Amino acid sequence: MHDDRSLVEARLKRVLDERVRPAVYPESVPLEVAVWHAPGEPVPVAEGLAAEPEPIEVGARWGAPWGTSWFRVTGTVPEAWAGRTVEAILDLGFDENMPGFQCEGLVYRPDGTPVKGLNPRNQWVRVAAPAEGGEQVRLHIEAASNPVILDYHPFLPTQLGDKETAGSEPQYTLTRMDLAVFDETVWQLVIDLEVLGELMAELPVESARRWEILRAVDKALDAVDLQNVNATAAAARSRLTGVLATPAAPSAHRISAVGHAHIDSAWLWPLRETVRKVARTTSNMTALLDDEPEFVFAMSQAQQWAWVRDHRPEVWARVKKAVADGRFVPAGGMWVESDTNMPGSEAMARQFVHGKRFFLDEFGIDNDEAWLPDTFGFAAGLPQIIKAAGSKYLLTQKISWSQTNKFPHHTFQWEGIDGTRIFTHFPPVDTYNCSMKGSEIAHAARNFKDKGVARHSLAPTGWGDGGGGTTREMVAKAARLRDLEGSATVTWETPRAFFDKAAAEYPEPPVWVGELYLELHRATLTSQARTKQGNRRSEHLLREAELWAATAAVRTGFPYPYEDLDRIWKTVLLHQFHDILPGSSIAWVHREARRTYERVAEELTAIVEAAQRALAGEGGTPLVFNAAPHARAGVPAGGARTPAMPARTALTGRPGGGHVLDNGLLRVEIDARGLVVSAYDIEADRETVAPGRAANLLQLHPDFPNMWDAWDVDEFYRNTVTDLTDADEVVPDGDGVRIVRSFGASRVTQLLSLAPGERRLLVDTEVDWHETEKFLKLAFPLDVHAERYASETQFGHFHRPTHTNTSWEAAKFEACNHRFVHLEEPGWGVAIVNDSTYGHDVTRTVRTDGDGGTTTTVRVSLLRAPRFPDPETDQGVHRFRHALVPGAGIGDAVREGWRINLPERRLTGAGAVEPLVTCDRDAVVITAVKLADDGSGDVVVRFHEAFGGRARATLTAGFEVADVAVTDLLERPLADARAPRAEDGRIALRLRPFELVTLRLRRA
């Protein structure tokens, strides 16, 4: 037989595009349209429905950036359409290639009942089936004219990302507002042909199945009368019955489809718009559930569920019913799909506490899985947090985006720093916006790396990022792919059903140890410094507020602010969303975040001050309150004392220019350029700074990545560097040295000081930053030979190599730390601690002259200046604090990291304040002291082993303890945990390396 394959395939494409798809709506009549443009921010639904609109014609421009327009459409079903299915086609000016990134709408009936959402791939509203002739149609559309930020030429700077700069030019053209007859037979033929055509394209050319489909499609197209598609569609479908009925091979890959709409809680739109995106999507999905009995939809992010509950009660009622039916599934058990690299230990724990508790309180559902499809890599401390929250599975997609190395598994056990293992799945479909295309399904089956030992994978199915969800076309395609020869099989299932099946069939999957590093989006550790500082400051203020409020509640009856702390925690957790904290959202989002963090700081500071005043009592004794988990200057952790007065630091001139700081423990030489040329550990008789090098060196790089400006820094940025060594001033300032530098349009002022009685050099840096597409680093070249270094992560630390032996190590050229980075040789080490930065790099060189030793350079990432999506990223004044700690062991790094983030608070009072809870080993770090969330008055203490070794310790309560329970993060007793006994308030502990423990202490 002659090879006419290309001819038939081309025929299929043209007939589908030009004849069959247009015949889905064979008849239509225009609707009358009127519009009211809401002034300012969105208005309540009742106000929008009651507003008096003005007539508008199809073809008219509408919608200022970030505006809201209320369209009213009215019409009458023609008598000739009686008994047929009628739909409204409502095209607001959509580009079908941009679902979730354009204008959107939510359709209401006149009584305010939501019908469904409108987006570029979902423009229809069912009016009647069957219709009655003369039936009156009246619908209202709350339309959001969100501007396109990420356009066909992506990453171009735009002022559209903030309402204050976006202007008022209409963004969209009203394209179609019609009533139309919906021909379901033709629509089903479209799905038949799409499924078979897409499957055919994925099969080998030499396979019999491909040719069988080709011949059937050819015959079906023969049956189509191109001048009367509607009359011949059924005949065409009948010629496809055989090829659609042939079952899949027994060995076919099995895909669990989960209805999904990944909705970024903020990104190229502000938080307030996400509230409406969620309402549109959930309206769409509840409507689709009514129409499709096999369909299952899952939605993560308890915050988004709360928005629907609080802002769209009419939508919430439908959602609750669908949840009760088991088909609208709460997923993930987190407050938002947060970043997991930068949130601190307690914050990461509270993501699960607040997320899981919301689903338990609202629906009685306890999630088994963490659901993080789009998060930019995963910190090594996360597995035990997931387990401690009572969950056992993790799903993500993003690691498939890595640029350099292909991850070797799709289903595996992920082992964290303490040895906890979590069953983890990366969907091999390689998208969290699966649309059931044949290419996606075939890719999932081919790509699946665990063939031969496992056969299940998951496909999150629906338009996402900006929402929209699953469409009826996707559901129809999935129905045909349930059991179809040549394809993987597709079944709608809940996340739990998938994970239970996958875990059962693969009881001993491979193990991946350590962080799941995304080899992309590394610059999110630095972009939008103020947002990151707001997060870090809020996390530590929350610690203080809980600690002092709990202590005051137990000691003085101080009213513990349960509701305020709950609300503030949720605000901070929301801003850890994976496009807010990473700095990859539009200007509007970060402008609002700055104001939010300021309010959070004011509220938490007020709680702290009120609690401390209640504890201190009246009197003139000077007191220092220490909120850190370690004693300092004679003040116990969690208590208050009159501090000891340390000796002063000596400041003298340096021969040849510059200054010397000496406190008897460290002698620091600062040359005339303001660079640290020596940091001498007097006790160890050891120099810290590498020979011939200088620390406190600011370095400036060009920073123009190939794409994803706010997200990415590409390795070639290192090829060009400018050392900022010229100084405007290097002068004494109190007990320290002040250095001023100017470069480009920017200015840096630093104060270097040596704390009395402490082995740490403080580096306070103020940058008035006005550069564009530049990357600012602060370098510390250290005379340390170390093949690996430690970075703090949640509830412990994680080691990374300093070398680049393999492509996996080389790809980690920018990495995350929390409060410290630590390097050491046996017996001596160095820590660099910070109060608000996360990104860093570590490199090593062997000196070719002199002693031939190794220089290991730690560089802290301070600032970037990308222009997309916020063209003014980080412009203005920033303040950072770092400390260089020579002679530091890992314990010193832990302690100094806490110290720099929790400064002392001073006031006068009646006398010392005893801690509510103490621990006698520095290796056991208490991360939270609080009252139980249920209002019982129980004291909850969370702690972990922080040094990476086994620890025996005694926890002592400063109150009478009636009972002790080991709990999960949600403060629920663990049935399989042996509760320690409290004897005179003392509790003996044994912890394995990095073990995380939560104790609930019932007061007598």
Question: What amino acid positions are annotated as catalytic residues?
Answer: 374
Dist. CA 464–CA 484, nearest whole Å: 27
What is the token pair recorded at 444? Answer: 């999932």
DSSP 265: S
Measured CA distances, 9 to 12, 216, 217 (Å): 5, 12, 9
Angstrom distance (rounded) from CA 282 to CA 467: 9
**Dihedral Cα 191, 197, 198, 199, nearest 10 deg:** 110
> For the CA atoms of the chain, what is the radius of gyration?
31
Whether the link from the prior residue into 170 is cis, omega within 30° of 0, is: no
State how far the alpha carbon of 575 is from the alpha carbons of 337, 562, 590, 643, in Å. Answer: 10, 20, 10, 37
d(CA 373, CA 396): 4
Which residue matches tokens 């490199």? 843
Residue with tokens 């099995």: 254
Q: Count of H helices and E strands in the chain?
A: 19, 53
- In DSSP notation, 398-445 reads GGGG-SS---S-SEEEEE-TTS-EEEEE--TT--SSB---HHHHHHHH
Q: Could you give the CA distance from residue 281 to residue 71 in angstroms, rounded to a whole number?
A: 19
CB atoms within 10 A of CB 865: 21
Q: Classify 208 as helix, strand or coil.
A: helix
283 Cβ contact partners less than 8 Å away, ≥ 6 residues apart = 106, 114, 115, 116, 117, 315, 318
Identify the residue whose tokens are 């004291």. Answer: 939
> Environment class of residue 757 by beta-carbon count within 10 Å: exposed (0-12), middle (13-18) or buried (19+)?
middle
The Cα–Cα gap between 816 and 821 comes to 9
Cα distances (Å, whole numbers) of residue 578 to 273, 302, 437, 488: 17, 15, 28, 32
* Token pair of 67 as six digits: 């505006």
- CA 752/CA 981 separation, integer angstroms: 48
Q: Which residues of 451-484 are buried (b: 16+ CB within 10 A; e: fewer)?
A: eeebbbbbbbbbbbbbbbbbbbbbbbbbbbbeeb
